Structure 1
Amino acid sequence: MTAVRERAVATADWTAWTCRVRLAVTDPAALAPATALVRAELDAVDLACSRFRPDSELAAVDAAAGRWTTVGPLLAQALAVALRAARLTGGAVDPTVGGAMVALGYDRDLDAVDPGSVPPVLAPVAGWQTVELDVDAGRVRVPYGVRLDLGATAKAWTADRAAAAVARAAGAGALVSIGGDVAVAGPAPVGGWRVRVEDVAGDPTDPGSPGSAVVSLTDGGLATSGTRARRWLHGGVEVHHLLDPRTGLPAAPFWRTVGVAADSCAGANAASTAAVVLGQAAVPWLGRLGLPARLVSEHGDVLTTGGWPA
């Protein structure tokens, strides 16, 4: 194990899902097969879970709203992760926001979003409790008129899956970052994986932006949710992609960025997204969970909880 930890880290970077993807492994010889493995994982999840692809399994579920729909094990697992996140966050993270996303124009890649002419209106979502999932039978049913969006959980869950798969296949340490959602698995390099936390995920080789922070990860995952990325105009109003299920509108501007570390990237992402939605109430909520977190207010003030390093 010591020899593996002392090897140089090798990295690969590319773009997928309109996100920057970074793979790092502690065994340079494993980089090429590990890259192919992560790309295959991304493609499989995209085909199962994308709401931008008419041929995805998720699109079939939306089209069959009101009826039971057979789904493959990958989508069933992704839905289970989303529903668990909704339950653990008290509904602050909810997969039934798909219709609200479409109403805001986010029904295609962000650079092609239609700005629309009507300002967004208050429309609470149906709620995660309305989704019926039978994992054993591989089927799901959502009410008529409800559309699902797994964007709040599937990206981080995929990072977890990919990092674990690389570590198993390569017998080495692995880091997978998808749009700033970071998962690590296997033996970490000496000193841990150094991860920069900032408002908008950028090139990891560039100097950090003002107010960014660098932390070290040895296991689990770290996710940053914020309102500065994925913004667009809709009906003359600037909106962002983190919706409050209670209103169907973008979360009120209280935190511009929340970074959370947890035993998985999916868990970290659920907590960071919920914190943005909860606003001021996020501080005691995160305190009860005991998760290390870094919260940056709209004014740039930084607050840390749960033992986040100084």
Structure 2
Amino acid sequence: MTSYPHEATFTALGMQCQIITTRPQDLLAAVDEALEELSRLAAVISFDDRRSEVSRLSRLASFAEVTAPASALLLDYLGAALWAADLTEGLVSPSDGVWRGIELGDGTVKLPRGTILDLSETAPSHAADLLARRLHADSGGGFLVRIGDAVAVAGDSPEGGWEIPVTAPGGRTLQVVSTRFAAVSKAEDDLRADQPHPIWTQVTVAAPTALEARAWAAASQTKGELAPAWLTNHGVTARLERRTGTTRYTAGWPQADLSAA
């Protein structure tokens, strides 16, 4: 990204993160709050940690349907993941095949038998959205929050907007877009076993929230050749990098200012 005078980078959730502020006095407190929140989140959703809620609930659901207590944090992030699943008709899901059977209650969650929860697809983008809005509400300043490939903004932006580079997997900048209100997220080719020859090396989407942008971008990898028409039909602004080296655009991308996206 463009270098701003009031920014910090750090690692959380195993990802590179960044916070940029419009006012220097807001930066240190914002980083402290982000690190604390993301540390709490990691303890809840990390599947590799057997003590986490996600791991514990997945073990409980291994052999039978289960209704179990769940923290407000888990319910929030699981609710976001289920919203993304509904948006993409299950192409982005917190649990393959059984997401429609997951039910959120008042402090509880019901999981069908065989549910294995995985919030890694949506949690970073949802966290970016929440942190950007919370930091702005706390101080009144302008914030850009990036967690991995998800970028969310809130409050006032610098003159000309926040400049966000679209980069190739190797780090080369392909394009720089400017946004005042829209969030941006990217999904890269992950060479999954069920899709040995993905068409798109990456899909970058602009949307009202980073969660929505991530959902469309990740689902587009599964859609393959149908992705541009599918995104266009839903009015989604996107840039798709084809493995052959060509690029497809939808719904107005590229443009100098994504503030209306």
TM-score by length of 1: 0.76
- Segments of structure 1 that go 5 or more residues without pairing to the other structure are 1-7, 97-124, 203-208, 232-238, 241-247
* Alpha-carbon distance in structure 2 between the residues aligned to 1:61 and 1:250: 29
Aligned match of 1:4 = none
Mapped pair 1:169 → 2:126: no
Instruction: Indicate how the Cα distance of structure 1 residues 251 and 158 shifts in structure 2: closer, same or farther if over 3 A, else same.
Output: farther
Structure 1 residue 163: deviation in Å? 0.9
Structure 1 residue 252: deviation in Å? 4.5
Aligned match of 1:57 = 53
Aligned match of 2:71 = 72
Local SS of the residue matching 1:196: strand
* Alpha-carbon distance in structure 2 between the residues aligned to 1:167 and 1:264: 15
Aligned match of 2:246 = 301
Q: Runs of at least 4 residues of structure 1 off by over 6 A?
A: none
TM-score by length of 2: 0.90
**Is contact 2:237–2:252 with CA below 8 Å preserved after alignment?**
yes
* Alpha-carbon distance in structure 2 between the residues aligned to 1:262 and 1:35: 25
* Alpha-carbon distance in structure 2 between the residues aligned to 1:250 and 1:179: 23
* Alpha-carbon distance in structure 2 between the residues aligned to 1:219 and 1:71: 33
Structure 1 residue 126: deviation in Å? 2.3
**Is contact 2:186–2:214 with CA below 8 Å preserved after alignment?**
yes
Residues 123-202 of structure 1: pairs in structure 2 closer than 5 A: 125-134=96-105, 137-200=106-169
Aligned match of 2:259 = none
Aligned match of 1:236 = none
Count matched residues. Answer: 249
Residues 113-132 of structure 1: pairs in structure 2 closer than 5 A: 125-132=96-103
**Is contact 1:293–1:306 with CA below 8 Å preserved after alignment?**
yes
Aligned match of 1:222 = 184
Aligned match of 2:212 = 267
**Is contact 2:98–2:115 with CA below 8 Å preserved after alignment?**
no
Aligned match of 1:277 = 222
Local SS of the residue matching 1:249: coil
- Segments of structure 2 that go 5 or more residues without pairing to the other structure are 256-261
* Alpha-carbon distance in structure 2 between the residues aligned to 1:18 and 1:47: 12
**Is contact 1:61–1:141 with CA below 8 Å preserved after alignment?**
no
Local SS of the residue matching 2:144: strand
Local SS of the residue matching 2:203: strand
Per-residue deviation, residues 176-223 of structure 1 (Å, max 9, x unmatched): 111121000010111110001123385xxxxxx16x111011113100
One-letter code aligned to 1:192? G
Mapped pair 1:15 → 2:14: no
Aligned match of 1:39 = 35
One-letter code aligned to 1:264? T
* Alpha-carbon distance in structure 1 between the residues aligned to 2:214 and 2:206: 9
Mapped pair 1:213 → 2:178: no
Structure 1 residue 141: deviation in Å? 2.0
Structure 1 residue 162: deviation in Å? 0.9
**Is contact 2:239–2:254 with CA below 8 Å preserved after alignment?**
no
One-letter code aligned to 2:144? L
* Alpha-carbon distance in structure 2 between the residues aligned to 1:72 and 1:284: 39
Local SS of the residue matching 2:66: coil
Local SS of the residue matching 1:215: strand
